A and B are shown apart, each in its own frame.
Chain A
Amino acid sequence: KQEVTQIPAALSVPEGENLVLNCSFTDSAIYNLQWFRQDPGKGLTSLLLIQSSQREQTSGRLNASLDKSSGRSTLYIAASQPGDSATYLCLTSGSRLTFGEGTQLTVNP
């Protein structure tokens, strides 16, 4: 059974800081891992998808890495802005589809 853990559960940082969100998973037999953000009362917005053969993906200020052997993915956010405040979720796709519980990020002006 796949278990996905996101630490920390909540994070508060001042504007401009670089930060890292973590996603750990127990079953390394995944096809890909996807990062989302969810704003309060809204749906999920896809940020980055990393295939199992890839090590990292970048989009603007976001960089996601994947290390299957250690069962870890990180989402790096550079120069954080108040608009980055949201809950960030990771989803592993293997024989099962499993979400982490999310990290609630607050970026303070």
Chain B
Amino acid sequence: DTAVSQTPKYLVTQMGNDKSIKCEQNLGHDTMYWYKQDSKKFLKIMFSYNNKELIINETVPNRFSPKSPDKAHLNLHINSLELGDSAVYFCASSPLLAGAYNEQFFGPGTRLTVL
């Protein structure tokens, strides 16, 4: 009965490869997010989707492409992986009430290592 789940938990790959991380939430929330936590543990928003529509797209290389097949899923596809992409990627979800972000619930994270 996990609220926000991500797969895989660990991902080790070579530079130049393409990989995807999947996220699912069973909380019935309208909004989902991807965050990146770098080696210094700093968390930064990457994308946010509301009801399958992109609402936040921070300054992220276009090698990163989020895909939301339905409002319970938000996947992250990364092309041509680079060493600097190594990080922990967190998915989160929240209800969107009165046009404002509300309490966010986070997944367990996916640790991506690019060799």
Nearest Cβ distance between residue A104 and chain B, in whole angstroms?
9
Cα–Cα, bound, A101→B43 (Å)? 7
Contacts of B103 in A (CB 8 A): 32, 34, 46, 49
Cα–Cα, bound, A10→B94 (Å)? 29
Chain A interface helix/strand/loop/mixed: strand
The number of A-B residue pairs with CB atoms under 8 Å apart is 47
Cα–Cα, bound, A101→B109 (Å)? 18
Contacts of A89 in B (CB 8 A): 43
Contact between A43 and B41 (Cβ–Cβ < 8 Å)? no
Contacts of B41 in A (CB 8 A): 87, 101-102
Which residue of B40, B100, B106, B109 contacts A93 across the interface (Cβ within 8 Å)? B100
Cα–Cα, bound, A45→B92 (Å)? 11
Contact between A46 and B101 (Cβ–Cβ < 8 Å)? no
Which residue of B33, B42, B100, B107 contacts A43 across the interface (Cβ within 8 Å)? B107
Contact between B43 and A46 (Cβ–Cβ < 8 Å)? no
Nearest Cβ distance between residue B71 and chain A, in whole angstroms?
18
Q: Is B48 an interface residue (CB 8 A)?
A: yes
Contacts of A34 in B (CB 8 A): 103-104
Interface residues of B in 74-115 (CB under 8 A from A): 90, 92, 100-109
Cα–Cα, bound, A36→B105 (Å)? 10
Contacts of A87 in B (CB 8 A): 41
Q: Is B56 an interface residue (CB 8 A)?
A: yes
Cα–Cα, bound, A30→B59 (Å)? 21
Contacts of A42 in B (CB 8 A): 108-109
Q: Is B15 an interface residue (CB 8 A)?
A: no
Contact between B45 and A44 (Cβ–Cβ < 8 Å)? no
Q: Is A55 an interface residue (CB 8 A)?
A: no
Which residue of A36, A43, A97, A102 contacts B45 across the interface (Cβ within 8 Å)? A97
Contact between B102 and A43 (Cβ–Cβ < 8 Å)? no
- Residue of chain A at shortest CB distance from B94: A93
Contacts of B35 in A (CB 8 A): 99
Report A's interface with B, CB cutoff 8 A.
31-32, 34, 36, 42-46, 49, 87, 89, 91, 93, 96-99, 101-102
